[in-house]
């Protein structure tokens, strides 16, 4: 009955959803209604960084639910969870990035940041990268770099230009007409593509030279996934705006964009309420996010990422794996064809391991488990993947 109602009443996003009926999620595992156990190698797409149902997060949710839920649109009432989270987030960011605007998701954070760069600079041109993914709402979709996902929704926003990620020569396309460039620290949906330190230094220089705001999309790479709290820490540069979501809430919906107080002030006047969100910074989501942040810090999760990444790469040796691209626990196993990827996903699922593919790179298998994954679990997952490749 539940399954038939799922297909009848829940709007579908694809012709063939995974279709597991989840009865419970705990730690690094999901459980179906039959009691089958699945090791989650994708963490709800880089969301459950601290594991499913993390007890510290759950307790924070319960505590806040007993105090109050929504009281008024974001930014009007002083709410302790918002204030405490904003303060804690600011300590993880460069000193120049001191204010946080809370929203409900990564796409919403991108939308807010797009308005911010236009409002601050008075310009309308925005640059993003080929094969980028920034979300699926109308403005965020306009930034995305894969025409397949965009063509049936055109016309999209005007004034958007695309450049090649990691190519220094393309940075000359950033000019005094450009309000902002939106760029992922690591291109996730492109199949884990990393830019060089030299590239990011050149990008920072070009933005400063032209008065263009540099917006780093940390939606998938933030909260410890790459081995530092923020992925951009490994580039040596300081962005003007940071966008975050996914792993931010410990499983609860929340997103944000962060910038200096000078930049953020532009949204408070001409017009007043230059950006607004009814449920942004929901107190329960903020409490969950603060517990997530504290758990990551207190358990030094980023410090253990490099060793776990190395273990995956050492164990996943097989002729059918053409390349492993990785940024901490965001990994892509290049298999060369979508058919091969689907077969591995299907076999792994039957063996109790959940994997996935990438929107803009369907020839690679996604590995992005909770950061809490253990050595024995990595060994088990790799055995299953290798057996899948053999079969």
Read off the pLDDT of residues 307-344 as tens digits, 9 standing for 90 and up. 999 999 999 999 999 999 999 999 999 999 999 999 99
Would the pLDDT of 94 be above 90? Answer: yes
Segment 179-208 shows an average pLDDT of 98
Cis check for the bond before 271: say yes or no (omega within 30 of 0). Answer: yes
Segment 98-111 shows an average pLDDT of 98
Secondary structure of residue 140 in the 3-state scheme: helix
Would the pLDDT of 266 be above 90? Answer: yes
pLDDT score of 148? 92
Would the pLDDT of 11 be above 90? Answer: no
Segment holding 290, helix H or strand E: helix 283-298
pLDDT band at 10 (very low <50, low <70, confident <90, very high): confident
pLDDT score of 221? 98
pLDDT score of 16? 80
Pick the CATH number of 2-54+301-390 from 3.30.465.10, 3.40.50.1860, 3.90.1150.10, 3.20.20.60: 3.90.1150.10
- In eight-state DSSP terms, residue 165 is T
Secondary structure of residue 159 in the 3-state scheme: coil
Segment 356-361 shows an average pLDDT of 96
d(CA 57, CA 250): 7
pLDDT score of 322? 98
Would the pLDDT of 8 be above 90? Answer: no
- In eight-state DSSP terms, residue 52 is B
pLDDT band at 107 (very low <50, low <70, confident <90, very high): very high
pLDDT score of 19? 81
pLDDT score of 20? 86
Would the pLDDT of 116 be above 90? Answer: yes
Tens of pLDDT, residues 119-141: 999 999 999 999 999 999 999 99
pLDDT score of 262? 97
Percentage of the chain beyond pLDDT 70 is 100
Tens of pLDDT, residues 235-264: 999 999 999 999 999 999 999 999 999 999
Would the pLDDT of 391 be above 90? Answer: no
Secondary structure of residue 338 in the 3-state scheme: helix
276: left (phi over 0), alpha (psi -120 to 50) or beta: beta
d(CA 328, CA 161): 30
pLDDT band at 12 (very low <50, low <70, confident <90, very high): confident
Asked if residues 65 and 284 have their Cβ atoms less than 8 Å apart, the reply is yes
Nearest to 162 by CA among 120, 200, 133: 133
Q: Which two tokens stand for residue 328?
A: 């901490």
pLDDT score of 335? 98
pLDDT score of 361? 97
Would the pLDDT of 202 be above 90? Answer: yes
Would the pLDDT of 347 be above 90? Answer: yes
Q: Own/partner pairs for 162-165, CB < 8 Å, 24+ apart? A: 162/127, 162/128, 162/129, 162/130, 162/132, 163/127, 163/128, 163/129, 163/130, 164/129, 164/130, 165/129, 165/130, 165/131, 165/132, 165/190, 165/193, 165/195
pLDDT band at 2 (very low <50, low <70, confident <90, very high): confident
Tens of pLDDT, residues 172-193: 999 999 999 999 999 999 999 9
Tens of pLDDT, residues 13-32: 888 888 888 999 999 999 99
Segment 356-363 shows an average pLDDT of 96
d(CA 371, CA 391): 29
Task: Give the CATH class of 56-298.
Answer: alpha beta
Domain spans of the chain, in order of start? 2-54+301-390, 56-298
pLDDT band at 282 (very low <50, low <70, confident <90, very high): very high
d(CA 217, CA 72): 28
């Amino acid at each position: 009955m539940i399954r038939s109602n799922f297909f009848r009443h829940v709007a579908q996003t694809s012709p063939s959803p995974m279709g597991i009926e989840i009865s419970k999620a705990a730690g690094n595992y999901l459980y179906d209604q039959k009691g089958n156990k699945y090791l989650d190698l994708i963490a709800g797409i880089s969301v459950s960084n601290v594991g499913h149902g993390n007890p510290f997060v759950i307790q924070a949710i319960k505590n806040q639910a007993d105090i109050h839920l929504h009281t008024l649109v974001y930014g009007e009432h002083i709410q302790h969870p918002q204030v405490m989270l904003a303060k804690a987030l600011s300590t993880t960011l460069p000193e120049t990035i001191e204010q946080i605007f809370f929203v409900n998701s990564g796409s919403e954070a991108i939308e807010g940041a797009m308005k911010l760069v236009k409002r601050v600079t008075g310009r309308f041109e925005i640059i993003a990268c080929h094969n980028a993914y920034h979300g699926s709402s109308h403005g965020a979709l306009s930034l995305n770099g894969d025409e397949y996902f965009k063509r049936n929704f055109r016309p999209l926003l005007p004034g958007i230009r695309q450049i090649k990620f990691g190519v220094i020569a393309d940075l000359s396309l950033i000019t005094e007409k450009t309000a902002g460039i939106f760029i992922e620290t690591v291109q996730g949906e492109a199949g884990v593509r990393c830019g060089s330190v030299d590239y990011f230094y050149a990008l920072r220089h070009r933005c400063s030279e032209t008065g263009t705001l540099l917006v780093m999309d940390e939606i998938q790479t933030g909260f410890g996934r790459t081995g530092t709290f923020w992925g951009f820490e490994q580039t040596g540069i300081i962005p003007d705006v940071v966008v975050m979501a996914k792993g931010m809430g410990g499983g609860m919906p929340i997103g944000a964009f962060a910038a200096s107080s000078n930049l953020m002030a532009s949204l408070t006047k001409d017009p007043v309420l230059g950006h607004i969100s009814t449920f942004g910074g929901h107190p329960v989501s903020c409490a969950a996010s603060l517990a997530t942040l504290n758990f990551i810090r207190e358990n030094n999760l980023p410090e253990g990422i490099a060793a776990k990444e190395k273990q995956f790469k050492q164990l996943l040796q097989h002729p059918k794996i053409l390349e492993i691209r990785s940024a901490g626990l965001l990994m892509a196993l290049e298999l060369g064809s979508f058919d091969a990827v689907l077969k591995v996903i299907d076999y792994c699922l039957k063996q109790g391991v959940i994997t996935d593919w990438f929107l803009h790179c369907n020839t690679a298998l996604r590995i992005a488990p909770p950061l809490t994954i253990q050595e024995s679990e990595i060994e088990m997952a790799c055995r299953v993947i290798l057996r899948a490749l053999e079969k």
